[in-house]
Amino acid sequence: MTNESLSYTDYENLFYRPSFAAECLGLTPRTLKTIEEDAGLDIRRIARGTVMARAYTPADVFRIAAVRREKGYTKALSRPVTISTFIQKGGTAKTTCSGNLAIYLALQGLRVLLIDNDPQGDATSMFGYDPDLTGPELVELGVPADRAVDGHFGNLIGVSKIFPPKTLDEVIKKPFGEFGPHLIPAEESLDDMELALNAASRSDFRYAMHISNARAGKIPSCDLSAYDVIIFDNPPSGSLMTLNTMVASDMIICPIRMDKFAFRALTRLAAKLEAFREDFSRAPEMAAIPTMFVKGRPRMLNNLARLSELFPGKVTDEKLYHSEDYMKALEEGIPLLAWSGAGENSAGAMRAAFAEVFSRLKAITA
């Protein structure tokens, strides 16, 4: 950052070639063009050399995903679900998984809401919003004022007077347009949520009660009935805020590195879920995704085998591999699955892992 400008990615002027737009949707370019023509979609043309070629924004791609759902070309879930991304260990790619899973599921035609439940606001930053500066401060740095955060989950849930009440429309962000994943952002004052929950009645259930009522359309200021999937991105700490997301969730996504410290964290989480089962007569499903995996390393292969033995049926077959693409996408200010520079070893592996997660979601909602 300089005192003159702050770089940011303008998703409205981020253009994809037809080949990448089709790849995002799992289609061929020819099929993509057919869908556009059948639906009467107007895709802009830009000059590529001497030729005017179709150029897609992220919003275009998500709109096509929504059209495919409307026409019955993609499979929806039989009921809405809530997901939490959590493991009590830092540096395992939790936020990377939360943000990119939101993108992946929206590309399947699902209506997705990502809730940043971490006061640090990393998921908020990943989607192009600034959790630290005000609108006027951003304008001074050359960034649109709408990249500022105007509220967070605390302003919606109504657990304390600490947070001024706001409507969903005042808080929500739509970085990729109406049909892409939506975001309830976070910023530092969300840290007071822990205090607010501790003082509230039924403190473990406040998120679950709010989500249930909002999905049923019982909270006019925060109607969440349109969303198929709600994803909570959590900090690595086992706080009351995190506990609330777990109580509210149908599935917990656990990105895990192949080392003994992450194993320990996953073992603790499994014990906590078993306590859930005893205390609440239910527990969310767990899907552990191996991350930062390096092919051909005996130690990692041995750790993966041990992990699968300790948690049978809970570890995804697909893995996220170590790749410089993650850092390059971050530097570009674009989530990996929305970055056309990502390769098969990164974006391809991620799509495969999330396809497996999607299959598990369909199974638990059947």
Confidence of residue 51 (pLDDT cuts 50, 70, 90): confident
Q: Is the pLDDT of residue 101 over 80?
A: yes
Question: What's the predicted TM-score (pTM) here?
Answer: 0.95
Q: Cα separation of 152 and 172, whole Å? A: 8
Q: Is the pLDDT of residue 306 over 90?
A: no
Q: Of the candidates 83, 105, 82, 96, which has an alpha carbon nearest to the alpha carbon of residue 255? A: 96
User: Average pLDDT for residues 327-333, to the nearest whole number?
Assistant: 93
What is the predicted pLDDT for the residue at 137? Answer: 94
Range with the lowest mean pLDDT among 163-177, 304-318, 319-333, 343-357? 304-318
User: Average pLDDT for residues 284-288, to the nearest whole number?
Assistant: 93
Confidence of residue 328 (pLDDT cuts 50, 70, 90): very high
Q: Cα separation of 245 and 277, whole Å? A: 15
Domains of the chain and CATH, by start: 1-74 (1.10.1660), 78-146+174-189+227-365 (3.40.50.300)
What is the predicted pLDDT for the residue at 6? Answer: 59
What is the predicted pLDDT for the residue at 7? Answer: 66
Q: Is the pLDDT of residue 134 over 80?
A: yes
Secondary element (H or E) of residue 293: none
User: Average pLDDT for residues 30-57, to the nearest whole number?
Assistant: 92
Extract the tokens encoding 11. Answer: 């998703």
What is the predicted pLDDT for the residue at 1? Answer: 37
Identify the residue with better confidence: 143 or 237.
143
Secondary element (H or E) of residue 107: helix 94-107
Confidence of residue 14 (pLDDT cuts 50, 70, 90): very high
**pLDDT tens digit sequence for 164-197:** 999 999 999 999 999 999 999 999 999 999 999 9
User: Average pLDDT for residues 247-251, to the nearest whole number?
Assistant: 94
User: Average pLDDT for residues 238-248, to the nearest whole number?
Assistant: 92
Q: Is the pLDDT of residue 103 over 70?
A: yes
Instruction: Kindly list the distances between the CA atom of residue 196 and the CA atoms of 121, 124, 170, 201, 232, in Å, as whole numbers in the listed order.
Output: 19, 22, 21, 10, 18
The per-residue pLDDT of the chain, averaged, comes to: 92
What is the predicted pLDDT for the residue at 149? Answer: 96
**pLDDT tens digit sequence for 23-43:** 999 999 999 999 999 999 999
**Centroid of chain to Cα 65:** 17
Secondary element (H or E) of residue 212: helix 206-215
